[in-house]
Amino acid sequence: MKDGIVYMCNEAYAKMIGKSRFEIEGQPVSSIYDEEHGPKILSEYLNKFNTQSLVTKYDTTVHLWDGSKKEFSVSNSFIQNISGKKYLCSIFSDITSPKRK
């Protein structure tokens, strides 16, 4: 992600979020969260991206766009393309216990 816009995602991530890749790619990261949490998450993301102060690995509870809640383990890394543009590569693993799904 760059500028808070999801550049690309894979099918597994889209399935975890409950949307298609085409509904996610090109949209702000806030679009996967509910209306209460999305704007705050986008603002925090932009601040952390611009200051390069991201946490590289953490577990979190996510309030998704459809009202569901899931627990994810997230790993973050900065990557750079050949022209020097920086992006964030995030890997999400669903760690929601079967009882909470």
In whole angstroms, what is the distance from residue 29 CA to residue 22 CA?
Answer: 13
What kind and span of H or E run contains 95?
none
Under the banding of pLDDT at 50, 70 and 90, the label for residue 34 is very high
Give me the pLDDT at residue 97, please.
Answer: 78
Q: How far is CA 78 from the centre of its chain?
A: 14
In whole angstroms, what is the distance from residue 59 CA to residue 12 CA?
Answer: 18
Give me the pLDDT at residue 3, please.
Answer: 84
For residue 61, give Cα distances in angstroms to 3, 7, 64, 79.
Answer: 23, 23, 10, 25
CATH number of 11-94: 3.30.450.20
Domain ranges of the chain: 11-94
Instruction: Tell me the pairing of strands 57-63 and 69-80.
Output: antiparallel
Give me the pLDDT at residue 100, please.
Answer: 52
Give me the pLDDT at residue 54, please.
Answer: 84
- Four-point Cα dihedral 40, 75, 87, 20, nearest 10: -70
The tens digit of pLDDT for each residue in 43-101 reads 998 998 889 888 899 999 999 999 999 999 999 999 999 999 889 999 999 999 765 55
